[in-house]
């Protein structure tokens, strides 16, 4: 009997989702959250790549205590393949470093930009999640990344300055595309109550003034272990796996995995949007 070639089951084809982690103000804990959230997903057997797109201020490599040879900057300069710039971090977490002093990705000529993103599209199906650690605020670059991603996590602290800046991001993004899914993570709250109140107020204001629904993914307490892990250049989840903040980040990742998958096009859709929208 002739052997029938088995078609791959649709469900077994891995879809790569792109998640942007952003904030209004800088210094709210976005990079530490992105890194440890990614490691929490790895603990849940997901294949994850962090793409450090805080261009000019990239520091995921610093948090990992690594000095990558190749970065986005050298990839473009030397015409490298995506595979050449992907580094393997702890527990199989993959990362791409932004490189220092590189901040003009979108000012490159269109052909180079297209080549760069086409090269990235080779990751389709190879990882479950690409996590973008974006810069803070409303720069043109940030907006492009946010608008192209499948999901957006907005990190804020309970401080009014952080909240008003986060709100400005919601307003701007919502004005450009009301269908962007945004979820809040409240970082550095001094109590669960403070975190909850911050999230409730934020959601209420967004709903009342913009008609925008924003979900809450969770709360991460202020925890001295985080700056300690930064000084050790070892991610919190590995340096202090039993700390309250590590537990909170794991819980946020658990919530995230429970979310319904939005109907989006994944990595291919992300690339089409970032290039042509
Ligand atoms: N939950 C937390 N508790 C205490 N300190 C934190 C917490 N989250 C972040 N930090 C500290 O805040 C600073 C900024 O964190 P970082 O992740 O670099 O922020 P961002 O990427 O938003 O600029 C770091 O010094 C970090 O140690
Ligand atoms: Mg950062």
Q: According to the model, what pLDDT value does residue 249 have?
A: 98
Residue bearing tokens 């250049």? 233
Q: Looking at residue 262, what is its pLDDT?
A: 67
Q: Could you report the average pLDDT of every consecutive run of 10 residues in the chain (277 residues)?
A: 52 79 96 98 97 85 92 84 93 89 73 86 93 91 92 97 97 95 97 97 96 97 98 98 98 95 80 86
Cα distance between residue 63 and residue 79, in whole Å: 27
| Distance from the alpha carbon of residue 112 to the mean position of ligand 1, in angstroms | 34
In a domain, 9, yes or no: no
Is there a domain that residue 30 lies in? yes
Output the domain CATH number for residue 228: 3.40.50.300
**Does residue 137 sit within a domain?**
yes
Please report which helix (H) or strand (E) contains residue 236, including its range. helix 236-239
- Considering only CA atoms, which residue is closest to atom 12 of ligand 1? 29
Does 198 fall in a domain?
yes
Residue 230 C-alpha to ligand 1 middle, in angstroms?
Answer: 9
The pLDDT assigned to 58 comes to 77
- Total of domains in the chain: 1
Pocket test of ligand 1: the residue of 26, 27, 29, 246 to mutate, having most ligand atoms within 8 Å of its CB, is: 29
Quote the pLDDT of residue 236. 98
- What pLDDT score was predicted for residue 79? 86
Supply φ then ψ for residue 139, to 5 degrees. Answer: -65, 160
Counting ligands in written order, which one lies closest to the CA of residue 187? Answer: 1
Q: What is the DSSP string of 5-61?
A: PPPPPGGGSPPPEEEEEEESSSSSSHHHHHHHHHHHHHHTT--EEEEEE-TBS--HH
Question: What integer pLDDT is reported at residue 195 of this predicted model?
Answer: 97
pLDDT at 263: 65
How far is the C-alpha of 147 from the C-alpha of 31, rounded, in Å? 19
What pLDDT score was predicted for residue 111?
83
CA 33 to ligand 1: nearest atom = 17
Domain residue limits at 189: 15-276
Residue whose C-alpha is closest to residue 19's, from 127, 148, 113:
148
69 lies in a domain? yes
2 falls within a domain: no
Q: How many angstroms separate the CA atoms of 114 and 220, rounded?
A: 38
Ligand 1 lined by 212 (C-beta under 6 Å): no
In a domain, 4, yes or no: no
Is 150 among the domain residues? yes
Ligand 1, residues 26, 32, 52: which to mutate, most atoms within 8 A of Cβ? 32
* 116, containing H or E segment: helix 110-120
């Amino acid at each position: 009997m002739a052997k029938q070639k088995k078609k791959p089951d649709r469900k077994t084809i891995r879809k790569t989702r792109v998640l942007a982690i952003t904030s209004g103000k800088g210094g709210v804990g976005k990079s530490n959250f992105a890194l440890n959230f990614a490691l929490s997903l790895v603990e849940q057997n997901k294949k994850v790549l962090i793409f450090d797109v805080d261009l000019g201020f990239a520091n995921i490599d610093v948090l990992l205590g690594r000095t990558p040879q190749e970065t986005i900057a050298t990839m473009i300069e030397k015409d490298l393949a995506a595979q050449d710039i992907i580094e393997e971090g702890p527990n199989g977490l993959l990362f791409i470093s932004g490189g220092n002093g590189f901040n003009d990705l979108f000012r490159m000529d269109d052909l180079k930009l297209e080549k760069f993103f086409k090269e990235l599209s080779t990751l389709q199906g190879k990882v479950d999640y690409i996590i973008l650690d974006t810069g803070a605020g409303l720069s043109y670059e940030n907006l492009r990344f946010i608008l192209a991603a499948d999901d957006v996590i907005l990190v804020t602290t309970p401080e009014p300055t952080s909240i008003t800046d986060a709100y400005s991001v919601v307003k701007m993004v919502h004005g450009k595309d009301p269908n962007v899914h945004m979820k809040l993570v409240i970082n550095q709250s001094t109590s669960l109550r403070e975190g909850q109140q911050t999230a409730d107020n934020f959601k209420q204001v967004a709903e009342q003034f913009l008609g925008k629904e924003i979900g809450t993914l969770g709360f991460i307490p202020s925890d001295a272990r985080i700056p300690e892990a930064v000084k050790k250049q070892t991610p919190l989840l590995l340096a202090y796996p039993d700390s309250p903040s590590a537990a909170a980040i794991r819980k946020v990742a658990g919530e995230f995995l429970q979310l319904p998958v939005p109907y989006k096009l994944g990595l291919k859709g992300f690339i089409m949007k970032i290039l042509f929208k």
